[in-house]
Amino acid sequence: MENRRINRRVKLQQLIEISYSNQENLLDANLEDISISGLRFSVNSPITTGSEIFLMFELPQENEGKIIKCYGEVLWQEKNNNTYIIGLKFKHLYRSDKEALESYLKNSI
């Protein structure tokens, strides 16, 4: 896939929780990398491009375990064996969450 990223991404591999298509339950997914504008994760089932997703994840300890809760839009997906790699663009980040994420990314250089 062609790299069209505007913002630098940082590897951050951990479990995240997502919800989409009006699901009541949160599903587990695997975060792979993150930037100030979005992230990439893998999941066991496809998610339609353009879908809005609610997600929660925790920044590492140096950011006091800050929990980020936000919405994003699926920009792309590709199948990789039995998983789907999903590219997501953040649609809304609270100011405090954005500041914590910016700090994390700056300190991860």
pLDDT of 37: 95
Structural tokens at position 2: 């062609």
Determine contact, residues 36/8, Cβ cutoff 8 Å: no
Q: Which pLDDT band holds residue 1 (cuts at 50, 70, 90)?
A: very low
**Mean pLDDT for all residues in the chain:** 88
Helix (H) or strand (E) holding 90: strand 83-92
pLDDT of 2: 45
pLDDT of 4: 53
pLDDT of 53: 94
pLDDT digits (tens, 9 = 90+) for 42-76: 999 999 999 999 999 998 866 567 899 999 999 99
Q: 6 pLDDT exceeds 80?
A: no
Phi, psi dihedral angles at 72 (to 5 degrees): -150, 170
Whole-prediction pTM value? Answer: 0.85
pLDDT of 41: 97
Q: What's the gap between Cα 108 and its chain centre?
A: 17
SS3 35: coil
Phi, psi dihedral angles at 77 (to 5 degrees): -150, 155
Distance of alpha carbon 49 from alpha carbon 60, whole angstroms: 29
Strand-pairing partners, residue 14, are 31
